[in-house]
Amino acid sequence: QRQLVESGGGLVQAGGSLRLSCLASEGTFSRYAMAWFRQAPGKEREFVATISWFWNGSSTNYADSVKGRFTISRDNAKNTVSLQMHSLIPEDTAVYYCAAAAKAYGGSQRENYDYWGQGTQVTVSS
């Protein structure tokens, strides 16, 4: 059964950086769109970033709240997708989830994604 396992979360001060990783085990996700979502306490799970796959490269898309601060990337050879986060603010505090969609482009809607990880906690202190 295909699984996604996130790592890299933790506690960081405002203005700091973290790098999240998502390892796809039990199968390849090289032909899947990948994404990161997050869920803060008492809030709905929200879209953060997505990266597509195409034969001639990939494209990315970001939520306005993280644009310019976060970067999503993928390494198909290692079956991983990463989220580099800079200039973190307390509002970025949430559980971050990795997701995979069995299509070239997944977009920002949760229902487009077929596989989800268990999440990793990111806490940004002020």
| 68 CB-near residues (< 8 Å, 6+ apart) | none
Q: What is the pLDDT of residue 90?
A: 97
**Amino acid at site 106:** G
Q: What is the pLDDT of residue 69?
A: 98
Q: How many residues does the structure list for the chain?
A: 126
CA 78/CA 107 separation, integer angstroms: 23
pLDDT-based confidence at 25, cuts 50/70/90? confident
Reported as a single tens digit per residue, the pLDDT across 93-111 is: 999 999 999 999 999 999 9
pLDDT, average across residues 20-48: 92
pLDDT, average across residues 8-20: 98
pLDDT-based confidence at 51, cuts 50/70/90? very high
Computed over every residue of the chain, the mean pLDDT equals 94
Q: What is the pLDDT of residue 7?
A: 96
Q: What is the pLDDT of residue 76?
A: 87
Residue ranges of alpha helices (H) inside 1-126 are none
